[in-house]
Amino acid sequence: MSISSDLKTAIINGKVVMEDRRLPSPEIEKAMADTRKIAEDIRNCY
């Protein structure tokens, strides 16, 4: 049995979507950065 923290690389339909626990697409990296910023803003409201 494995858990999500065991996952290092993910390949979907022959395309690497995560490598070394990082998302290689610049668009995805920006979306994740934006999401982290929004989450931080929400936490600071409370």
Give the pLDDT of the chain (46 residues) as one tens digit per residue: 778 888 899 999 998 888 888 877 778 878 888 999 999 999 999 7
* CB neighbours of residue 12 within 10 Å: 8
Q: 41, 18, 38: which is closest to 28 by C-alpha?
A: 18
Domain count, the chain: 1
- Residues 21 and 8: beta-carbon distance below 8 Å: yes
Global pTM exceeds 0.75: no
Domain that holds residue 34: 4-44
